[in-house]
Amino acid sequence: MTVVIGFEGSANKIGVGIIRDGEVLSNPRRTYITPPGQGEIIRPIVTSNGLYYNFHLHSQISNDPSPGYNIEQMAKKGTKYIDLPYTVKGMDVPFSGILSYIEDAAHKLLSTGQCTPEDLCFSLQTLFAMLVEITERAMAHCGSQEVLIVGGVGCNLRLQEMMGVMCKERGAQLFATDERFCIDNGAMIAQAGWEMFRSGHVTELSDSWITQR
């Protein structure tokens, strides 16, 4: 019987996962959210390249409980599609054009009533179409019949739905999960450690180190 503990953290969250022989025993996660009435530090102390994070800053979207979840829920209420840059080059999907457009246009569009925050969230799903396109291309090149969605945005049900439609048309299978294992969590770190241990990859405590930043 092997018990493994994993830690996952970022600027505002910490997760601790405990697994035993591959079974998840505990996987709590805590996120710091700015208290009501207190402003947010709009200029990040450390540069963030997360498009969803930067999008919520420019689109008047709350950070509680999380930007990604709020964007998903607001997108369901959007009725107007705003054309956003759609750029796919082979297997590359540069998102900088979309973020730059939103940074320049969001305030103007919202302040003049040309669209609502919900419309912007709805339009942001352009990203999903780009991801579905390159995923289908990758499947065709590799001859794969399976798709696994992971990562924070991976728990977005609309992304899962769009990817599922593509997989169904190709006779393929889609595998996805929810926020327990998509968003930063300790269980995924513990599972990685468990797989390394089973394969014989072991680092003695005396040989391990960490650089604090």
Provide the CATH number for the domain around residue 169. Answer: 3.30.420.40
Mean pLDDT of all residues in 193-209: 92
Mean pLDDT over residues 119-131, rounded?
92
**Pairing between strand 29-31 and 13-20?**
antiparallel
| Mean pLDDT score, 146-173 | 94
What distance in Å separates the CA atoms of residue 143 and residue 198, rounded to the nearest whole number?
29
Q: How far apart are CA 174 and CA 168, in angstroms?
A: 8
pLDDT digits 0-9 by tens, 48-85: 445 555 565 555 566 666 778 888 999 999 999 998 88
Q: What separation in angstroms does the CA of 64 have from each of 32, 54, 57, 74, 97?
A: 9, 15, 13, 13, 27
**Residue 44: partners with Cβ closer than 8 Å, 6 or more residues away:** none
Q: CA–CA separation, 92 vs 136, rounded Å?
A: 13
pLDDT on residue 45: 46
Residues 42 and 99 in one domain: yes
Instruction: With CA atoms as reference, report the closest residue to 154 among 143, 144, 164, 145.
Output: 164
Give the CA distances from residue 173 to residues 8, 36, 62, 139, 182, in Å, rounded to whole numbers and listed in that order.
29, 43, 35, 11, 18
Q: Please give the average per-residue pLDDT across 176-181, as a whole number.
A: 86
Contact 119, 80 (CB under 8 A): yes
The whole model's pTM is what? Answer: 0.75
193: containing domain: 1-27+185-201
210 lies in some domain: no
**3-state DSSP assignment of residue 25:** strand
Is position 32 within any domain?
A: no
Residue 46 has a pLDDT of: 46
Per mean pLDDT, which range of 45-49, 96-100, 197-201 is the poorest?
45-49
- pLDDT confidence of 118, banded at 50, 70, 90? very high
Residues 62 and 115 both lie in one domain: yes
160/175 same-domain check: yes
Top-confidence residue, 119 or 65: 119
